[in-house]
């Protein structure tokens, strides 16, 4: 569709930009309507509008990221996700049986860039085997590691760290790209004493914790230097990168903020295939409709996308009918199979002053470090606390494998991740020096769900991440704690560690399980709530081309389509889904 204002493009509103008010938009009909400006949505918007003949409108419920200091200074990450705030959807989970029936916060960003504007910035791809499994279950070799590597490279812009240090021996340039869009870098400031402890551990325990030059090579096992979506000492989000100045000025790219999509409208069924006439959204208490002449693309994330589908009558027919929602397309997998990783912490007090604690404990020092960041975007505020990641497998002889098939995608895929760094776990110990580890079960077998509580599309959905409901996940969490303690049994830690802040090592299994239930939480990495499956599968929500099964002109491109949790944090996997998804759309409409 060629839109007249594109040709006439003279008035100031004719140039693409980020709009706050629907009345400023140059029209509500476009070739593509993209719902959600998160990791995936902004990639799709950017790539589609490379073709000047395509116009795209992105509808984002949240607020602007512009000038939000906590979303710019990497170290301030925790401020953004602490408690209800204007950058959050403020969700809580349903009571989690695996967490002593606690309902816990479930963080989702309500801002441009989605969760890439407030996430931990850890850049991890997962194993080659993870993606080869995607290709296997979908019967589409296009989802294999080898096929996706060019898309990782389209996304990634490998960048010099903020301190310009010599990075030789800290990564493998052959598996990175300097020509992508989203910045990735090694840490921009150093903790030499602690870093030496970690590297020495890889020498002392080379069997259990070998050094891995680059955990993003497709073979992550071992201990490697952390890589983060940070460039020039600042967070690189999908908003700062894919909607950067050189892109957002495109006359065919439009982004509307404060626009919460409620549902898809005007379903029409022809020969059993549903087409939707538009997208309903709310702004300032009024409802509007946006129309797509080519495709509607849902990129609202693993919580938002299934919620919109269910509110539109796309989901399990019986469940929707019970809520008073007219069933349009009976797809029982919508919102099911939610897969989320549990995480647990451990920390130790240490005999070293070279940790981040003094910065958090001493306001004068904090201001000095902040002033350094302000002046030159260098110093300790250019990254988070972690310096390395250890990726490890459960022992092959673990008794759990008598009962459970190994959920990892293959023998080179880790079950457990341990992020290691300095600083107390809470960040608010009044005195002392600490190191903290975060342990993640990468391959959970628990499954949860996203469902609706009512037929009001503005009610928050019911979020059940299913945290720690299976024996495997509880076993792997206990093992992750044991592995973390094993790491610091390397001789090099002897005079360095004073004591664990809570001694988890010699606890009974029951006591450890109780500790885990009280202290673990979901990692905010949910996937699979609108999962991709083979074209002929009896389950699933989208086909391998990401078109919704049984619908036409409706695609899903975000973390919800991921068919199996990768052994990773989920932004890089989502970016790669979006890069390939955009290519699939371009292929269709070329
Ligand atoms: C606290 C936290 C820390 C994390 N840390 C890391 C990390 O360190 N490394 C990593 O790799 N991953 C991390 N992740 C996960 C990663 O950020 C996500 O997996 C990724 O952003 C998912 O991308 P997405 O496009 O599917 O969804 P999102 O990035 O969540 O984007 C969805 C967008 O859609 C919008 N939206 C939702 N519903 C509607 C609606 N109805 N109408 C209009 N707009 C809507 C949302 O506001 C949001 O902007 C973290 C996540 C969180 C929450
Ligand atoms: C855009 O449309 C014009 C006119 O139809 C065509 O010549 C051109 O090739 C198109 N551009 C792209 C990138 O498809
Ligand atoms: C989350 O809570 C904050 C503080 O109460 C509020 O300002 C914000 O609007 C809430 N977010 C949403 C999406 O309602
Ligand atoms: C948690 O809730 C379930 C279901 O309501 C109940 O059976 C169980 O006893 C509760 N567990 C605890 C520890 O309270
Ligand atoms: C969940 O995923 C599995 C494959 O991992 C599949 O067999 C099952 O049918 C799915 N369930 C639903 C409800 O989609
Ligand atoms: C800390 O290290 C110093 C110097 O190595 C040593 O003298 C001291 O005993 C250590 N303190 C503790 C509590 O281990
Ligand atoms: C706090 O930091 C300032 C600035 O570095 C330093 O001069 C001061 O001694 C520190 N205070 C304490 C109690 O360590
Ligand atoms: C750094 O800059 C921010 C934002 O401009 C400002 O709020 C803050 O006070 C500055 N801090 C220091 C220590 O310079
Ligand atoms: C395996 O299953 C059996 C029977 O349910 C159970 O007794 C045993 O504890 C399980 N083993 C592990 C390691 O969970
Ligand atoms: C755990 O118990 C063993 C054996 O009793 C003991 O040697 C070890 O020091 C204990 N570890 C911790 C961290 O308490
Ligand atoms: C776990 O939490 C429950 C409920 O708050 C509490 O009664 C119990 O003492 C806690 N257990 C441990 C080991 O912290």
Closest ligand 7 atom, residue 358 Cα:
14
Q: In terms of residues, how long is the chain?
A: 590
Q: Which of 19, 33, 36, 227 to mutate to test the pocket of ligand 1 (most atoms within 8 A of CB)?
A: 36
Q: Whose CA is nearest to atom 14 of ligand 2?
A: 51
Could you tell me the residue ranges of all domains in the chain?
A: 95-106+162-234+339-522
On the 0-12 / 13-18 / 19+ scale of CB atoms within 10 A, 510 is exposed
User: How many CB atoms sit inside 10 A of residue 77's CB?
Assistant: 19
| Residue-level pLDDT at 4 | 34
Closest ligand 11 atom, residue 511 Cα:
13
Tell whether 488 is in a known binding site. no
* Residue 123 to residue 125: CA distance in whole angstroms: 7
CB within 6 Å of ligand 9 — which residues? 399-400, 402-403, 471
Ligand 8 centroid, distance to 233 Cα (angstroms): 15
Catalytic residue status for 569: yes
Tell whether 27 is in a known binding site. no
Residue with tokens 């990175």: 176
CB of 507 sitting under 6 A from ligand 11: no
Closest ligand 5 atom, residue 447 Cα:
1
CB of 97 sitting under 6 A from ligand 4: yes
Ligand 9 centroid, distance to 472 Cα (angstroms): 10
CB of 336 sitting under 6 A from ligand 5: yes
Tell whether 90 is in a known binding site. no
Q: Which of 96, 98, 101 to mutate to test the pocket of ligand 4 (most atoms within 8 A of CB)?
A: 101
Q: Are 25 and 57 in contact (CB under 8 A)?
A: yes
| Residue-level pLDDT at 1 | 31
Q: Which of 487, 498, 506 to mutate to test the pocket of ligand 10 (most atoms within 8 A of CB)?
A: 506
245: Cβ contacts below 8 Å, ≥ 6 apart: none
Q: Are 571 and 39 in contact (CB under 8 A)?
A: yes
Ligand 4 centroid, distance to 517 Cα (angstroms): 12
Ligand 11 centroid, distance to 518 Cα (angstroms): 6
Tell whether 1 is in a known binding site. no
| Residue-level pLDDT at 425 | 86
> Which one of the ligands is nearest to 451 CA?
5
Buried b (16+ CB within 10 A) or exposed e, 267-286: beeeeeebebebbbbbbeee
| Residue-level pLDDT at 15 | 45
Q: Are 338 and 448 in contact (CB under 8 A)?
A: yes
Q: Whose CA is nearest to atom 6 of ligand 5?
A: 539
Tokens of 144: 């294999």
Give the β-pairing of 314-315 and 329-330. Answer: parallel
Helical segments of 11-64, H only? 39-48
Q: Whose CA is nearest to atom 2 of ligand 6?
A: 351
* Residue 162 to residue 186: CA distance in whole angstroms: 9
Ligand 10 centroid, distance to 506 Cα (angstroms): 6
- Angle, vertex CA 437, rays to CA 431 and CA 443, nearest 5: 155
Ligand 3 centroid, distance to 87 Cα (angstroms): 7
Q: Is 310 left (phi over 0), alpha (psi -120 to 50) or beta?
A: alpha
275: Cβ contacts below 8 Å, ≥ 6 apart: 267, 268, 269, 551, 552, 553, 554
N-terminal to C-terminal alpha carbon distance within the chain: 13
Give Dmax (Cα) for the chain: 73
Q: What CATH number is given for 95-106+162-234+339-522 in this structure?
A: 3.30.560.10
Q: What is the DSSP string of 114-178?
A: GGGGTS--B-----HHHHHHHHHHHT-GGGSHHHHHHHHHHHEEE---TT----TTS--GGG--S
- Residues of the chain with pLDDT below 50 are 1-15
Ligand 1 centroid, distance to 109 Cα (angstroms): 6
Closest ligand 9 atom, residue 399 Cα:
13
Q: What is the pLDDT of residues 397-427, one digit of tens each?
A: 999 999 999 999 999 999 999 999 999 988 8
Buried b (16+ CB within 10 A) or exposed e, 21-55: ebeebbebebbbbbbbbbbbbbbbbbbbbeeeebb
Catalytic residue status for 30: no
* Residue 112 to residue 180: CA distance in whole angstroms: 20
| Residue-level pLDDT at 8 | 35
* Residue 68 to residue 118: CA distance in whole angstroms: 10
Tell whether 22 is in a known binding site. no
């Amino acid at each position: 569709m060629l839109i007249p204002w594109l040709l006439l493009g003279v008035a100031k509103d004719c140039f693409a930009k980020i709009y706050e008010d629907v009345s400023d938009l140059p029209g509500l009909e476009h070739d593509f309507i993209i719902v959600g400006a998160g990791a995936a949505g902004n990639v799709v918007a950017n790539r589609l509008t490379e073709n000047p003949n395509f116009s795209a409108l992105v509808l984002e419920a949240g607020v602007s990221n512009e000038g939000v200091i906590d979303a710019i200074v990497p170290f301030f990450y925790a401020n953004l996700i602490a408690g209800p705030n204007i950058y959050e959807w403020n969700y809580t989970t349903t009571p989690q049986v695996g967490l002593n029936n606690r309902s816990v916060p479930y963080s989702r960003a309500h801002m441009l860039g989605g969760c890439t504007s407030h996430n931990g910035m850890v850049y991890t791809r997962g194993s080659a085997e993870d993606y080869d499994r995607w290709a296997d279950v979908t019967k589409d070799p296009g989802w294999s590691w080898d096929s996706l590597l060019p898309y990782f490279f389209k996304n990634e812009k490998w960048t010099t760290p903020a301190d310009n240090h010599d990075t030789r021996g800290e990564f493998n340039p052959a598996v990175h790209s300097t020509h992508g869009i989203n910045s990735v870098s090694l840490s921009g400031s150093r903790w030499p004493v602690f870093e030496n402890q970690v590297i020495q551990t890889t020498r002392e325990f080379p069997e259990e914790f070998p050094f891995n030059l680059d955990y993003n090579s497709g073979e992550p096992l071992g201990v490697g230097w952390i890589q983060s979506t940070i460039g020039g000492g600042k967070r690189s989000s999908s908003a700062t990168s894919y909607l950067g100045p050189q892109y957002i000025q495109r006359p065919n790219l439009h982004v509307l903020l404060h626009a919460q999509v409620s549902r898809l409208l005007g379903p029409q069924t022809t020969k059993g295939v549903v087409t939707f006439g538009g997208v309903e959204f709310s702004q300032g208490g009024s409802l509007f409709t946006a129309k797509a002449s080519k495709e509607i693309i849902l990129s609202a994330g693993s919580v938002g996308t299934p919620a919109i589908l269910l509110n539109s009558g796309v989901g399990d027919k019986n469940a929707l009918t019970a809520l008073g929602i007219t069933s349009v397309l009976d797809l029982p997998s919508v919102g099911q199979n939610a897969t989320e990783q549990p995480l647990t912490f451990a920390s130790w007090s240490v005999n070293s002053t070279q940790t981040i604690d003094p910065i958090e404990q001493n306001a004068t020092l904090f201001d000095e470090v902040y002033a350094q960041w302000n002046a030159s975007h260098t110093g300790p505020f250019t990254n988070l606390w972690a310096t390395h990641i250890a990726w490890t497998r459960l022992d092959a002889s673990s008794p759990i494998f008598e009962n459970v098939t190994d959920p990892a995608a293959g023998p080179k895929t880790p079950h457990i991740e341990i992020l290691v760094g300095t600083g107390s776990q809470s960040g608010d110990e009044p005195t002392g020096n600490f190191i903290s580890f975060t342990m993640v079960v990468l391959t959970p077998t628990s499954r949860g769900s996203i469902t609706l509580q009512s037929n009001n599309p503005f009610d928050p959905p019911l979020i059940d991440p299913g945290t720690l409901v299976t024996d495997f996940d509880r076993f792997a969490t206990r093992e992750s704690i044991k592995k973390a303690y094993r790491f610091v049994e390397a001789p090099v830690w002897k005079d360095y560690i004073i004591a664990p802040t809570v001694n988890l090592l010699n606890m009974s299994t029951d006591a450890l399980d109780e500790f885990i239930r009280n202290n673990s939480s979901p990692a905010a990495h949910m996937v699979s709530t609108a999962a991709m499956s083979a074209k002929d599968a009896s389950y699933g929500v989208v086909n391998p081309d990401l078109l919704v099964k049984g619908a036409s002109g409706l695609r899903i491109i975000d973390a919800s389509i991921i068919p199996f949790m990768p052994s990773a944090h989920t932004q890089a996997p989502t970016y790669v889904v979006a890069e390939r998804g955009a290519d699939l759309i371009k292929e269709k409409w070329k």
